[in-house]
Amino acid sequence: MTTVDLPLLPLGRGTDLNSERGVECPGDLPSASDPDLVARALAAKEALGDRVFVLGHHYQRDEVIQFADVTGDSFKLARDAAGRPDAEYIVFCGVHFMAESADILTSPDQQVILPDLAAGCSMADMARLTQVEMAWAAMTEAGVAESVVPVTYMNSSADIKAFCGRNGGVVCTSSNAEVALEWAFAQKPDAKVLFLPDQHLGRNTAVLKMGLTLDDCVVWDPHRPNGGLTPEELRDATMILWKGHCSVHGRFTAEVVDELRATIPDVQILVHPECAHEVVLKADLVGSTEFIITTIEAAPAGSSWAIGTELNLVKRLAAAHPDKRITFLDKTVCYCSTMNRIDLPHFVWAMESLVAGQVVNRIEVDPETEKWALVALERMLALPGKTHKD
Ligand code: 13P
Ligand code: SF4
Protein backbone atom coordinates (compact mmCIF):
# COMPACT_ATOMS: atom_id res chain seq x y z
CA MET A 1 0.00 0.00 0.00
CA THR A 2 1.31 3.39 -0.94
CA THR A 3 1.14 5.90 1.86
CA VAL A 4 1.27 9.63 1.48
CA ASP A 5 4.99 10.10 1.99
CA LEU A 6 5.62 9.11 -1.64
CA PRO A 7 8.16 11.11 -3.61
CA LEU A 8 6.67 13.30 -6.31
CA LEU A 9 6.60 11.53 -9.65
CA PRO A 10 7.17 13.29 -12.94
CA LEU A 11 3.83 14.48 -14.31
CA GLY A 12 2.26 12.94 -17.36
CA ARG A 13 0.11 14.75 -19.90
CA GLY A 14 -3.49 15.32 -18.88
CA THR A 15 -6.27 13.60 -20.77
CA ASP A 16 -8.42 16.69 -21.14
CA LEU A 17 -9.05 18.17 -24.56
CA ASN A 18 -7.17 21.32 -23.71
CA SER A 19 -3.99 19.40 -23.10
CA GLU A 20 -4.59 17.17 -26.12
CA ARG A 21 -4.77 20.36 -28.16
CA GLY A 22 -1.31 21.08 -26.78
CA VAL A 23 -2.04 24.54 -25.40
CA GLU A 24 1.35 26.17 -25.09
CA CYS A 25 2.25 28.93 -22.69
CA PRO A 26 2.19 32.11 -24.80
CA GLY A 27 5.11 33.72 -22.96
CA ASP A 28 8.55 33.01 -21.54
CA LEU A 29 8.15 30.88 -18.46
CA PRO A 30 10.74 31.22 -15.73
CA SER A 31 12.84 28.13 -15.28
CA ALA A 32 11.53 25.65 -12.71
CA SER A 33 15.05 25.56 -11.23
CA ASP A 34 15.20 29.33 -10.63
CA PRO A 35 15.97 29.55 -6.89
CA ASP A 36 14.24 32.95 -6.72
CA LEU A 37 10.77 31.77 -7.78
CA VAL A 38 9.25 32.04 -4.30
CA ALA A 39 10.74 35.50 -3.77
CA ARG A 40 9.52 36.57 -7.23
CA ALA A 41 5.98 35.36 -6.51
CA LEU A 42 5.98 37.19 -3.17
CA ALA A 43 7.27 40.39 -4.75
CA ALA A 44 4.66 40.29 -7.51
CA LYS A 45 1.89 39.68 -5.00
CA GLU A 46 3.05 42.53 -2.86
CA ALA A 47 3.31 44.86 -5.85
CA LEU A 48 -0.26 44.06 -6.90
CA GLY A 49 -1.68 44.32 -3.38
CA ASP A 50 -5.49 44.37 -3.23
CA ARG A 51 -5.73 44.60 -7.01
CA VAL A 52 -5.24 40.81 -7.18
CA PHE A 53 -7.15 38.03 -5.43
CA VAL A 54 -5.62 34.56 -5.65
CA LEU A 55 -7.92 31.54 -5.33
CA GLY A 56 -6.51 28.03 -4.78
CA HIS A 57 -8.38 24.75 -5.09
CA HIS A 58 -7.47 22.11 -2.50
CA TYR A 59 -5.88 19.91 -5.18
CA GLN A 60 -3.23 22.47 -6.08
CA ARG A 61 0.44 21.85 -5.38
CA ASP A 62 1.93 23.18 -2.12
CA GLU A 63 4.28 25.42 -4.10
CA VAL A 64 1.25 27.29 -5.45
CA ILE A 65 -1.28 26.98 -2.62
CA GLN A 66 1.05 28.92 -0.34
CA PHE A 67 0.22 32.06 -2.34
CA ALA A 68 -3.56 31.65 -2.29
CA ASP A 69 -5.59 34.31 -0.46
CA VAL A 70 -8.29 31.70 0.00
CA THR A 71 -8.37 27.94 -0.52
CA GLY A 72 -11.48 25.89 -0.96
CA ASP A 73 -13.54 23.33 -2.82
CA SER A 74 -15.36 24.31 -6.01
CA PHE A 75 -18.40 25.62 -4.14
CA LYS A 76 -16.47 27.77 -1.66
CA LEU A 77 -14.23 29.18 -4.40
CA ALA A 78 -17.24 30.13 -6.54
CA ARG A 79 -18.70 32.02 -3.59
CA ASP A 80 -15.36 33.60 -2.71
CA ALA A 81 -14.80 34.79 -6.28
CA ALA A 82 -18.22 36.45 -6.26
CA GLY A 83 -17.44 38.03 -2.88
CA ARG A 84 -14.48 40.19 -4.00
CA PRO A 85 -15.94 42.83 -6.35
CA ASP A 86 -13.03 45.21 -5.68
CA ALA A 87 -10.26 42.94 -6.97
CA GLU A 88 -9.23 43.91 -10.49
CA TYR A 89 -7.65 40.52 -11.18
CA ILE A 90 -8.74 37.07 -10.01
CA VAL A 91 -5.87 34.60 -10.45
CA PHE A 92 -7.48 31.18 -10.35
CA CYS A 93 -5.20 28.34 -9.30
CA GLY A 94 -7.51 25.52 -10.28
CA VAL A 95 -8.87 24.24 -13.58
CA HIS A 96 -10.59 25.82 -16.57
CA PHE A 97 -14.24 25.25 -15.56
CA MET A 98 -13.58 26.91 -12.19
CA ALA A 99 -12.04 29.97 -13.84
CA GLU A 100 -15.02 30.17 -16.22
CA SER A 101 -17.41 30.09 -13.27
CA ALA A 102 -15.39 32.82 -11.55
CA ASP A 103 -15.63 34.95 -14.71
CA ILE A 104 -19.40 34.44 -14.83
CA LEU A 105 -19.82 35.34 -11.17
CA THR A 106 -17.62 38.45 -11.22
CA SER A 107 -18.28 41.83 -12.82
CA PRO A 108 -17.25 42.54 -16.44
CA ASP A 109 -14.43 44.84 -15.34
CA GLN A 110 -12.80 42.09 -13.27
CA GLN A 111 -10.41 39.85 -15.19
CA VAL A 112 -9.97 36.16 -14.41
CA ILE A 113 -6.61 34.56 -15.15
CA LEU A 114 -5.79 30.85 -15.35
CA PRO A 115 -1.97 30.58 -15.11
CA ASP A 116 -1.84 27.59 -17.51
CA LEU A 117 -4.55 27.28 -20.16
CA ALA A 118 -3.90 23.54 -20.40
CA ALA A 119 -5.33 23.08 -16.90
CA GLY A 120 -8.58 21.52 -18.10
CA CYS A 121 -10.66 18.68 -16.66
CA SER A 122 -11.15 15.34 -18.38
CA MET A 123 -14.54 14.91 -16.71
CA ALA A 124 -15.82 18.28 -17.94
CA ASP A 125 -14.68 17.34 -21.45
CA MET A 126 -16.86 14.22 -21.35
CA ALA A 127 -20.02 16.31 -21.90
CA ARG A 128 -19.90 18.54 -25.00
CA LEU A 129 -22.80 20.86 -25.77
CA THR A 130 -23.59 19.21 -29.12
CA GLN A 131 -23.81 15.81 -27.41
CA VAL A 132 -26.11 17.16 -24.70
CA GLU A 133 -28.33 18.85 -27.30
CA MET A 134 -28.59 15.54 -29.18
CA ALA A 135 -29.55 13.79 -25.95
CA TRP A 136 -32.19 16.46 -25.29
CA ALA A 137 -33.61 16.00 -28.79
CA ALA A 138 -33.86 12.23 -28.18
CA MET A 139 -35.61 12.87 -24.87
CA THR A 140 -38.02 15.23 -26.63
CA GLU A 141 -38.68 12.53 -29.22
CA ALA A 142 -39.36 9.99 -26.44
CA GLY A 143 -41.82 12.45 -24.86
CA VAL A 144 -39.86 12.85 -21.62
CA ALA A 145 -37.95 16.14 -22.05
CA GLU A 146 -40.74 18.21 -20.56
CA SER A 147 -40.40 16.31 -17.25
CA VAL A 148 -36.61 16.47 -17.23
CA VAL A 149 -34.72 18.99 -15.07
CA PRO A 150 -31.05 19.18 -16.10
CA VAL A 151 -28.57 19.38 -13.23
CA THR A 152 -24.91 19.85 -14.01
CA TYR A 153 -21.99 19.38 -11.69
CA MET A 154 -19.79 22.45 -11.40
CA ASN A 155 -17.17 20.36 -13.22
CA SER A 156 -18.60 21.17 -16.64
CA SER A 157 -17.99 23.79 -19.31
CA ALA A 158 -19.83 27.13 -19.23
CA ASP A 159 -21.98 26.18 -22.23
CA ILE A 160 -23.31 23.11 -20.38
CA LYS A 161 -24.15 25.32 -17.40
CA ALA A 162 -25.89 27.69 -19.83
CA PHE A 163 -27.85 24.74 -21.27
CA CYS A 164 -29.08 23.99 -17.75
CA GLY A 165 -29.94 27.64 -17.11
CA ARG A 166 -31.96 27.85 -20.36
CA ASN A 167 -33.82 24.63 -19.63
CA GLY A 168 -34.93 25.25 -16.04
CA GLY A 169 -31.96 23.51 -14.44
CA VAL A 170 -29.26 24.20 -11.92
CA VAL A 171 -25.56 23.76 -11.16
CA CYS A 172 -24.44 21.73 -8.15
CA THR A 173 -21.13 20.89 -6.51
CA SER A 174 -20.08 17.94 -4.40
CA SER A 175 -20.99 20.09 -1.36
CA ASN A 176 -24.61 20.59 -2.31
CA ALA A 177 -25.64 17.84 -4.75
CA GLU A 178 -28.31 16.53 -2.37
CA VAL A 179 -30.04 19.85 -1.91
CA ALA A 180 -29.76 20.57 -5.64
CA LEU A 181 -31.49 17.28 -6.42
CA GLU A 182 -34.21 18.05 -3.86
CA TRP A 183 -34.71 21.38 -5.63
CA ALA A 184 -34.80 19.70 -9.06
CA PHE A 185 -37.33 17.05 -8.09
CA ALA A 186 -39.57 19.77 -6.62
CA GLN A 187 -39.70 21.71 -9.91
CA LYS A 188 -42.26 19.54 -11.69
CA PRO A 189 -44.70 16.76 -10.89
CA ASP A 190 -43.02 13.42 -11.80
CA ALA A 191 -39.75 15.22 -12.44
CA LYS A 192 -36.76 13.33 -13.81
CA VAL A 193 -33.21 14.59 -13.54
CA LEU A 194 -30.60 14.56 -16.29
CA PHE A 195 -27.37 14.63 -14.27
CA LEU A 196 -24.24 15.88 -16.06
CA PRO A 197 -21.42 14.95 -16.44
CA ASP A 198 -20.42 12.78 -13.43
CA GLN A 199 -22.44 9.59 -13.25
CA HIS A 200 -20.88 8.72 -9.88
CA LEU A 201 -21.82 11.91 -8.03
CA GLY A 202 -25.31 11.61 -9.54
CA ARG A 203 -25.75 7.95 -8.61
CA ASN A 204 -24.24 8.27 -5.13
CA THR A 205 -26.45 11.23 -4.29
CA ALA A 206 -29.61 9.72 -5.76
CA VAL A 207 -29.23 6.35 -4.05
CA LEU A 208 -27.56 7.27 -0.77
CA LYS A 209 -29.28 10.61 -0.13
CA MET A 210 -32.54 10.72 -2.07
CA GLY A 211 -33.80 7.17 -1.39
CA LEU A 212 -33.81 6.18 -5.06
CA THR A 213 -32.70 2.71 -6.15
CA LEU A 214 -30.14 1.71 -8.74
CA ASP A 215 -33.09 0.61 -10.90
CA ASP A 216 -34.35 4.21 -10.91
CA CYS A 217 -31.09 5.24 -12.63
CA VAL A 218 -30.09 4.78 -16.26
CA VAL A 219 -26.83 5.82 -17.92
CA TRP A 220 -26.86 7.92 -21.09
CA ASP A 221 -23.81 7.04 -23.18
CA PRO A 222 -23.16 9.90 -25.64
CA HIS A 223 -21.14 7.56 -27.86
CA ARG A 224 -24.05 5.17 -28.54
CA PRO A 225 -27.12 5.79 -30.69
CA ASN A 226 -29.92 7.19 -28.53
CA GLY A 227 -27.55 7.08 -25.57
CA GLY A 228 -27.82 3.27 -25.57
CA LEU A 229 -31.34 3.55 -24.11
CA THR A 230 -34.79 2.68 -25.40
CA PRO A 231 -37.61 5.26 -25.16
CA GLU A 232 -39.22 2.98 -22.52
CA GLU A 233 -36.04 3.00 -20.41
CA LEU A 234 -35.99 6.79 -20.62
CA ARG A 235 -39.65 7.01 -19.65
CA ASP A 236 -39.21 4.63 -16.68
CA ALA A 237 -36.06 6.28 -15.27
CA THR A 238 -36.01 8.90 -12.53
CA MET A 239 -32.29 9.72 -12.86
CA ILE A 240 -30.65 9.88 -16.28
CA LEU A 241 -26.92 9.82 -15.53
CA TRP A 242 -24.49 11.12 -18.13
CA LYS A 243 -21.68 8.64 -18.78
CA GLY A 244 -18.83 10.75 -17.42
CA HIS A 245 -16.42 10.24 -14.56
CA CYS A 246 -13.33 11.64 -12.88
CA SER A 247 -10.18 9.84 -13.97
CA VAL A 248 -8.59 10.52 -10.57
CA HIS A 249 -11.41 9.34 -8.29
CA GLY A 250 -12.25 6.51 -10.68
CA ARG A 251 -9.01 4.79 -9.64
CA PHE A 252 -10.10 3.95 -6.09
CA THR A 253 -11.38 0.40 -5.68
CA ALA A 254 -13.49 -1.56 -3.20
CA GLU A 255 -10.69 -4.19 -3.03
CA VAL A 256 -8.21 -1.66 -1.64
CA VAL A 257 -10.79 -0.61 0.95
CA ASP A 258 -11.02 -4.27 2.04
CA GLU A 259 -7.21 -4.61 2.14
CA LEU A 260 -6.83 -1.52 4.29
CA ARG A 261 -9.54 -2.59 6.67
CA ALA A 262 -7.70 -5.91 7.08
CA THR A 263 -4.31 -4.28 7.69
CA ILE A 264 -4.97 -1.05 9.63
CA PRO A 265 -6.93 -1.54 12.85
CA ASP A 266 -9.96 0.77 13.18
CA VAL A 267 -9.16 2.60 9.96
CA GLN A 268 -11.93 4.93 8.78
CA ILE A 269 -12.46 5.26 5.07
CA LEU A 270 -13.18 8.83 3.91
CA VAL A 271 -13.89 9.38 0.22
CA HIS A 272 -15.07 11.98 -2.26
CA PRO A 273 -18.49 11.34 -3.91
CA GLU A 274 -16.83 11.26 -7.36
CA CYS A 275 -15.69 7.73 -6.41
CA ALA A 276 -17.55 4.73 -7.85
CA HIS A 277 -20.70 3.60 -6.04
CA GLU A 278 -19.16 0.34 -4.77
CA VAL A 279 -16.31 2.31 -3.15
CA VAL A 280 -18.67 4.83 -1.57
CA LEU A 281 -20.84 1.97 -0.24
CA LYS A 282 -17.81 0.61 1.62
CA ALA A 283 -16.71 3.99 3.00
CA ASP A 284 -17.43 5.34 6.47
CA LEU A 285 -17.77 8.95 5.37
CA VAL A 286 -18.34 10.64 2.01
CA GLY A 287 -18.06 14.31 1.14
CA SER A 288 -16.45 17.14 -0.79
CA THR A 289 -12.85 18.17 -0.32
CA GLU A 290 -13.94 20.81 2.20
CA PHE A 291 -15.79 18.11 4.16
CA ILE A 292 -12.75 15.81 4.04
CA ILE A 293 -10.58 18.57 5.52
CA THR A 294 -12.97 19.47 8.34
CA THR A 295 -13.45 15.79 9.18
CA ILE A 296 -9.71 15.23 9.58
CA GLU A 297 -9.32 18.47 11.56
CA ALA A 298 -12.01 17.32 14.00
CA ALA A 299 -10.69 13.74 14.29
CA PRO A 300 -9.09 12.66 17.56
CA ALA A 301 -5.32 12.20 17.82
CA GLY A 302 -4.31 8.61 17.17
CA SER A 303 -7.19 7.92 14.77
CA SER A 304 -6.48 6.18 11.45
CA TRP A 305 -7.82 7.30 8.09
CA ALA A 306 -7.62 6.15 4.50
CA ILE A 307 -8.60 8.97 2.16
CA GLY A 308 -9.87 8.62 -1.39
CA THR A 309 -9.28 11.93 -3.10
CA GLU A 310 -6.50 13.73 -4.96
CA LEU A 311 -2.99 13.16 -3.63
CA ASN A 312 -1.80 16.77 -3.16
CA LEU A 313 -4.62 17.25 -0.65
CA VAL A 314 -4.06 13.93 1.11
CA LYS A 315 -0.33 14.64 1.47
CA ARG A 316 -1.06 18.09 2.86
CA LEU A 317 -3.51 16.65 5.39
CA ALA A 318 -0.96 14.04 6.47
CA ALA A 319 1.70 16.73 6.96
CA ALA A 320 -0.69 18.98 8.90
CA HIS A 321 -1.87 16.16 11.20
CA PRO A 322 1.18 14.12 12.26
CA ASP A 323 -0.80 12.92 15.31
CA LYS A 324 -3.19 10.98 13.02
CA ARG A 325 -2.37 8.11 10.71
CA ILE A 326 -3.34 9.13 7.20
CA THR A 327 -3.07 6.73 4.29
CA PHE A 328 -3.80 7.25 0.62
CA LEU A 329 -6.54 4.95 -0.72
CA ASP A 330 -4.65 3.84 -3.81
CA LYS A 331 -1.69 1.64 -4.54
CA THR A 332 -0.11 4.10 -6.94
CA VAL A 333 0.42 7.82 -7.09
CA CYS A 334 -2.71 9.61 -8.20
CA TYR A 335 -2.47 13.34 -8.83
CA CYS A 336 -4.89 15.26 -11.00
CA SER A 337 -2.44 15.94 -13.82
CA THR A 338 -4.35 18.96 -15.09
CA MET A 339 -4.63 20.59 -11.65
CA ASN A 340 -0.88 20.02 -11.35
CA ARG A 341 -0.22 22.06 -14.48
CA ILE A 342 -0.51 25.20 -12.37
CA ASP A 343 3.02 25.19 -11.03
CA LEU A 344 5.22 27.91 -9.61
CA PRO A 345 6.75 28.99 -12.94
CA HIS A 346 3.28 29.52 -14.46
CA PHE A 347 2.10 31.34 -11.35
CA VAL A 348 5.13 33.65 -11.32
CA TRP A 349 4.77 34.28 -15.06
CA ALA A 350 1.07 35.22 -14.72
CA MET A 351 1.66 37.45 -11.69
CA GLU A 352 4.73 39.23 -13.08
CA SER A 353 2.86 39.84 -16.34
CA LEU A 354 0.11 41.57 -14.34
CA VAL A 355 2.70 43.70 -12.55
CA ALA A 356 4.01 44.70 -16.00
CA GLY A 357 0.45 45.69 -17.01
CA GLN A 358 -0.11 42.69 -19.27
CA VAL A 359 -3.09 40.40 -18.66
CA VAL A 360 -2.21 36.88 -19.81
CA ASN A 361 -4.40 33.76 -20.10
CA ARG A 362 -7.61 35.64 -19.45
CA ILE A 363 -10.68 33.40 -19.23
CA GLU A 364 -13.68 35.16 -20.71
CA VAL A 365 -17.06 33.55 -21.29
CA ASP A 366 -19.12 35.02 -24.15
CA PRO A 367 -22.09 37.16 -23.05
CA GLU A 368 -24.91 34.85 -24.22
CA THR A 369 -23.36 31.79 -22.55
CA GLU A 370 -22.61 33.85 -19.47
CA LYS A 371 -26.20 35.08 -19.19
CA TRP A 372 -27.69 31.58 -19.02
CA ALA A 373 -24.86 29.97 -17.06
CA LEU A 374 -25.34 32.70 -14.46
CA VAL A 375 -29.03 31.74 -14.17
CA ALA A 376 -28.03 28.16 -13.30
CA LEU A 377 -25.22 29.26 -10.96
CA GLU A 378 -27.42 31.75 -9.15
CA ARG A 379 -30.06 29.07 -8.66
CA MET A 380 -27.33 27.02 -6.98
CA LEU A 381 -26.14 29.89 -4.81
CA ALA A 382 -29.74 30.49 -3.69
CA LEU A 383 -30.21 26.89 -2.51
CA PRO A 384 -30.66 26.47 1.24
CA GLY A 385 -27.44 25.92 3.19
CA LYS A 386 -27.65 22.15 3.63
CA THR A 387 -24.61 20.49 2.07
CA HIS A 388 -23.63 16.99 1.00
CA LYS A 389 -21.81 15.75 4.06
CA ASP A 390 -21.86 12.13 5.12
P1 13P B 1 -14.89 19.64 -5.00
O2 13P B 1 -14.02 20.82 -5.16
O3 13P B 1 -16.34 19.99 -5.18
O4 13P B 1 -14.65 18.86 -3.76
O5 13P B 1 -14.60 18.67 -6.24
C6 13P B 1 -13.39 18.05 -6.38
C7 13P B 1 -12.94 18.09 -7.76
O8 13P B 1 -12.79 17.12 -8.43
C9 13P B 1 -12.64 19.37 -8.32
O10 13P B 1 -12.23 19.20 -9.61
FE1 SF4 C 1 -11.47 17.00 -13.20
FE2 SF4 C 1 -11.16 14.91 -11.57
FE3 SF4 C 1 -9.14 16.61 -11.91
FE4 SF4 C 1 -11.35 17.37 -10.55
S5 SF4 C 1 -9.88 15.79 -9.94
S6 SF4 C 1 -10.27 18.55 -12.14
S7 SF4 C 1 -12.94 16.24 -11.68
S8 SF4 C 1 -10.07 15.27 -13.50
Q: How sure is the predictor about 23, in pLDDT bands with cuts at 50, 70 and 90?
A: low
* Domain containing residue 128: CATH number: 3.40.50.10800
Distances, alpha carbon 219 to alpha carbons 131, 202, 315, in Å:
14, 10, 34
45 close to 89: Cβ distance less than 8 angstroms? no
Residue 355 has pLDDT above 50, yes or no: yes
Query: What is the 94 CA–ligand 2 centroid distance (Å)?
Result: 10
Number of domains making up the chain: 3
Is residue 161 included in any domain, yes or no? yes
Q: Ligand 1: which atom is nearest the Cα of residue 155?
A: 10
155 lines ligand 2 (CB under 6 A): yes
- Are 238 and 145 in a shared domain? yes
Reading phi first (left if > 0) and then psi (alpha if -120 to 50, else beta), residue 9 is in: beta
What pLDDT, in 10s, does the model give residues 252-276?
A: 999 999 999 999 999 999 999 999 9
H-run or E-run covering 240: strand 239-242
Q: Whose CA is nearest to atom 1 of ligand 2?
A: 121
- Are 178 and 293 in a shared domain? no
Is residue 17 included in any domain, yes or no? no
Is residue 362 included in any domain, yes or no? no
What pLDDT, in 10s, does the model give residues 77-90?
A: 988 998 999 999 99
For residue 204, what pLDDT is reported? 98
- Are 226 and 374 in a shared domain? yes
What pLDDT, in 10s, does the model give residues 316-345?
A: 999 999 999 999 999 887 899 999 999 999
- Are 135 and 209 in a shared domain? yes
Q: Ligand 1: which atom is nearest the Cα of residue 310?
A: 8
CA distance 54 to 338: 18
H-run or E-run covering 236: helix 231-236
Is residue 16 included in any domain, yes or no? no
- Are 195 and 330 in a shared domain? no
- Are 269 and 317 in a shared domain? yes
**Average per-residue pLDDT for the chain:** 92
Is residue 278 included in any domain, yes or no? yes
209 close to 179: Cβ distance less than 8 angstroms? no
CA distance 199 to 218: 10
- Are 161 and 235 in a shared domain? yes
Residue among 30, 50, 51, 25 nearest 41 (CA): 30
H-run or E-run covering 281: helix 277-282
Q: Ligand 2: which atom is nearest the Cα of residue 95?
A: 6
Is residue 390 included in any domain, yes or no? no
Residue 390 has pLDDT above 80, yes or no: no
Q: Ligand 1: which atom is nearest the Cα of residue 73?
A: 2
121 lines ligand 2 (CB under 6 A): yes
Phi, psi values for residue 380, rounded to 5°:
-65, -45
Structural domain for 86, as ranges: 23-120+339-356
Q: Pick from 288, 313, 317, 340 the residue to mutate for probing ligand 1's pocket: most ligand atoms within 8 Å of its CB.
A: 288
